[in-house]
Amino acid sequence: MTDDTGPIPLVLVTGFLGSGKTTLLNALLRHPDMAGTAVLMNEIGSVGIDHSLVVGASDDVLLLEGGCLCCQPKGSIGEGVSQLLALQPMPRRIVIETSGAANPFPILEALSQHPQATRGFQFPRVVTVIDSVFGGDTLARHAEARFQLSAADIVVFGKGDIAKPADMAAVRKQVAEANPAALRQELSGDGWIDDLVERLHAPVDLRHACAARPAPHATDPAHDTDFETVGLQFDGRLEAEAVQAWIDEVLDLYGGNILRIKGILNLEGYSRPAVLQCVRDLVHPIELLDASTEAAHGNSIVAIGWDMHPELMHE
């Protein structure tokens, strides 16, 4: 369970229209380990709210935990997060569900600039739901869906119980090629929700993504948003100043082409591994892995974007 004295875990649930986000959210909120969760939604839908808090960013607010309050909040997602952080008792975690047509990167940027970033909440774990039936066509037709996929730390495949095997295989291959850094989870079968909740609570592990390092996704003239992933894994301890200088150089050269950089680093002067998170040209304040988690083995860095030079990752 979450340490109530530390920053609150934050989960960003995204996915294109009809992909299965509501099914996922219902299952998450009913899981006993997700009790005390506050939910911030772009669009109010049919959501199970047992033992949970549900907050609408643009419609009604419904707070359920021994009482009920309805109101009409106004403003951005950042303001909605501030509202949740001010609740007493404070939520144990926050889940933000985006609208189906939302690009998640502006949301991540806004959260990185939030005055309580790191101190009040952790950098969001991004969960993207992909439709196993129509996902391939959706990714081909809609840039928003490709941004949602590229942002994912965890990809959840919805509608696998009704998809044709050929469609399922094609979508899973497309996801693995487009975002090898993401963990992949089915939204069906026995125990899937337990597996997903466990992954949400676990520290980020980038080793498998760095080891894979597939060839960049081929550019399709019909797409203006195809991404590549560049990863690196190495041993040793790093000077924080050297890491900052490297980030500055990368952002100076490729800032407009980088969607996200994430890493687990062993830094001089820190007893625990540090989590590096960048969204576009914004560097999120460094967070340290919880003392109870297993220490990271070496350093891992993954960058997602366009037209990056892999050699730069080795400097």
Q: Per residue in 188-239, pLDDT tens?
A: 777 899 999 988 877 666 655 554 444 334 333 334 556 677 777 888 888 9
Q: Which residues have CB under 8 Å from 237's CB, separation 6+?
A: 266, 267, 268
Whole-number percent of the chain with pLDDT over 90: 10
| Band (258; pLDDT cuts 50, 70, 90) | confident
Specify the amino acid at residue 221.
P
Q: Which two tokens stand for residue 196?
A: 């997903």
Distance in angstroms (rounded) separating the CA atoms of residues 208 and 282? 25
Least-confidence region, from 53-62, 123-132, 220-229, 253-262: 53-62
Say which DSSP state 49 is in: -
Angle at 211 between CA 208 and CA 213, to 5 degrees: 110
- Secondary structure of residue 221 in the 3-state scheme: coil
130/227: higher pLDDT: 130
Q: Which residues have CB under 8 Å from 211's CB, separation 6+?
A: 231, 233
| Band (155; pLDDT cuts 50, 70, 90) | very high
131/68: higher pLDDT: 131
Phi and psi torsions of 312, nearest 5°? -65, -30
Distance in angstroms (rounded) separating the CA atoms of residues 302 and 180? 10
Is residue 2's pLDDT more than 60?
no
Q: Per residue in 284-311, pLDDT tens?
A: 777 777 655 554 567 888 887 777 776 6
* Residue-level length of the chain: 315
232 in Cβ contact with 314 (< 8 Å) = yes
